[in-house]
Structure 1
Amino acid sequence: MTKLKMLATTAALMLAGTTSAFATECIAPANAGGGWDFTCRQVGKLLYDLKLVDAPVQVTNMAGAGGGLAYAHVVADMNTDPDVIVAASSATTTRLAQKAFGDATADQVRWVGAIGADPGVIVVAKDSPFQNLGDMVAAIKADPGSVAFAGGSAAGGFDHMKPLQVMKSAGFTEITKVKYIGVDGGADAITQTIGGHTQAMTGDMSEIVGFIKSGDVRVLAVLTEARVPGFEDIPTAREQGFDVVAVNWRGLYVPKGISDDQFNAWATKLQAVADSAEWKETMAANGLAPFTKVGADFQGWVDGVIAETETLSREIGVIQ
């Protein structure tokens, strides 16, 4: 049995015996509170509020294998279901590029679109000795094992790459010595850091907004070209001397076996959400930057991103 089939079987057993009164299901491939969960709940709410679907959208959290469990379940058991959508992001395509889902490939689903970019962040607890990104970089250069990062992606995934890119920008070449702990979603990652189990969190802005407002964390840097509207007090990595830009797009994929008409219908609905005033308010409140690609345009873009990610992953030694 292949790894993909094993994951699909596990997912099917998790859901066995459940029934749904909802017309549309959005699968978030991580625990509640993270970025994928945010995508499902916010997009799902607006699909219903804007009358793009006839009933409230059911959100199903299916954590496991860094998104691989949900991917396998959709490929194996929901291939022709026109009423299921799945939250995806840069982490999803990164894992596919790196064969983290076993024998799964990106062409086993259809990529509907992305409607926002979540800025990457490097975060520490409020009582951390690191006051800025330079402090952290200096500590890692002095003792690479002294700083452990928690992130919502598996080792070698998109969250893992962010601090590695920062260290490469700082001229540090022993990036395999940087410690990283992958957990199931950004909420778990920030909890690890606030609890003192790791010295830093690498993730996305939407995953930490609540913790910023509560004062539990200090954001050392946002990995965007310019400061994020609404969070102007957070400096970019660039302005601190580290030329790194890393944003995590937020979007959806659907089963490959649905018809072109059904695929195009989802693309149209997602575009309507992206164009709505409500979504623009949601982006502003959660630190998302505009980033809209839907339908065939997005499908082609994803193919290119996966090819580029595979090349980068080989350069940093994540894959052979």
Structure 2
Amino acid sequence: MKTLRILIAAAMVNSLAAAAIPAIAADAECVVPSKPGGAMDITCKLAQKALQARPNAPKLKLSYMPGGIGAVAWHTMESQRRAEPDTLVAFSGGSLLNLAQGKFGKATANDVRWVAALGADYGMIAVRADSPYHKLGDLVDALKSDPAKVLIGMSGTIGSQDWIKMALLARQAGVDPRQLRFVALEGGGEEFTAMQADYVQVISGDTSEATLYVDPRKIRVLAVLADHRLPGVLSKVPTAREQGYDVVWPIIRGLWMGPGVSDADYRRWVQAFEHIETDPGFAKMRAEAGLHPFSLTGDALSNYIKQAVADYNRQARQFNLVR
């Protein structure tokens, strides 16, 4: 992950000259590859809001295509809807991790057209407000004592980024990750719902999702998996590193298009987001969405994605997760 963090830091200073947004169709679509309420939903809604703030901007409608931790949307768009000129699909670092592990079959990072990164997110670990775990060390002690008694909610299955976050923490604490008990859920919205219903005691999720649900009467975020404390509503939450566990998990969030989209249509969308991301108003929208500065588009983003997938592949091999 060190290389991934360096790439994100470099991209944070990326800047482009602002200009008028290129013409886009009156109606466009952003596909959310999960159920409503999670970070993928946040990504499409941020794109929708940013476009609406531009003069003569198109309406960006949202549609939901959950299933297979993103595999259903990937294969549908890559095969059946591969040439739609005004359809965007949300992705995250978790999508890239799935590619690295072969969870999308034989798919590779070269199979779609990467449009724009809209921001950076980070992992986090949360419990209910009435949980006996008041800090990360309390949770770790419980896992050491009897990992089978702690039910952990995660988006995806074994090998997902939510799983790896907890596996990294467990490994540092001397706990075999295979002893942990997980419940596979579809997106961050389901994770928080399951925890509120006491179906799971802990969730491994993302900070952008936590900003949607954080309420001291209901939720306690034990740690953010960032290099430093984050601004905003989670500013008082310590990092895992502060609490003695060197686990940092940055997450890219952005958009891609089908592989059959023409060069002209692809460049039109790339340029649109280049202009959007240099607008001072976008920084405020991004912060309100719980995301942090990270801007790459087009070819630069495609190169970043290829390197990130290679980095994830190396990390997945540490847990024997690569198919």
User: Which residue of structure 1 lines up, in the alignment, with residue 36 of structure 2?
Assistant: 32
Q: Structure 2 unaligned runs (5+)?
A: 1-24
Question: In the alignment, is the contact (CA less than 8 A) between 2:50 and 2:285 conserved in 1?
Answer: no
Question: In the alignment, is the contact (CA less than 8 A) between 2:144 and 2:173 conserved in 1?
Answer: no
77 and 111 in structure 1: CA distance in 2 versus 1, 3 angstrom threshold: same
**Superposition TM-score, scaled by structure 1 size:** 0.88
99 and 51 in structure 1: CA distance in 2 versus 1, 3 angstrom threshold: farther
Partners of 1:177 and 1:52 in 2: CA distance: 55
User: Which residue of structure 2 lines up, in the alignment, with residue 270 of structure 1?
Assistant: 273
Deviation per residue, 1:50-90 (Å, 9 max, x gap) = 1374x311100111111111111101111111111000001
Q: SS where residue 289 of structure 1 aligns? A: coil
Alignment partner of 2:143 out of 137, 140, 143: 140
Alignment partner of 1:292 out of 279, 285, 295: 295
Deviation per residue, 1:223-260 (Å, 9 max, x gap) = 00111011221110010001111022110111111222
User: Which residue of structure 1 lines up, in the alignment, with residue 201 of structure 2?
Assistant: 199
Is residue 123 from structure 1 mapped to residue 91 from structure 2 by the alignment? no
Q: SS where residue 75 of structure 1 aligns? A: helix
Q: Structure 1 unaligned runs (5+)?
A: 1-20
Alignment partner of 1:59 out of 56, 62, 70: 62
Residue type of the alignment partner of 2:207: M
Question: In the alignment, is the contact (CA less than 8 A) between 1:43 and 1:273 conserved in 2?
Answer: no
User: Which residue of structure 1 lines up, in the alignment, with residue 260 of structure 2?
Assistant: 257
The answer to which structure, 1 or 2, has the higher relative contact order (CA under 8 A, 6+ apart) is 2
Q: SS where residue 242 of structure 2 aligns? A: helix
The sequence identity of aligned pairs, in percent, is 33
Question: In the alignment, is the contact (CA less than 8 A) between 1:113 and 1:299 conserved in 2?
Answer: no
Residue type of the alignment partner of 1:259: S
Residue type of the alignment partner of 1:189: E
Report the Cα offset of residue 192 of structure 1. 0.9
Matches within 5 A, 1:218-257: 218-230=220-232, 231-257=234-260
User: Which residue of structure 2 lines up, in the alignment, with residue 10 of structure 1?
Assistant: none
Residue type of the alignment partner of 2:192: I
Is residue 302 from structure 1 mapped to residue 274 from structure 2 by the alignment? no
Over the aligned positions, Cα root-mean-square deviation in angstroms equals 1.7
Alignment partner of 1:99 out of 97, 102, 105: 102
State which drifts further: 273-282 or 34-43.
Answer: 273-282
Question: In the alignment, is the contact (CA less than 8 A) between 1:32 and 1:61 conserved in 2?
Answer: yes
Report the Cα offset of residue 276 of structure 1. 2.5
Q: SS where residue 63 of structure 1 aligns? A: coil
Partners of 2:124 and 2:256 in 1: CA distance: 25
Alignment partner of 2:211 out of 203, 209, 234: 209
**Superposition TM-score, scaled by structure 2 size:** 0.88
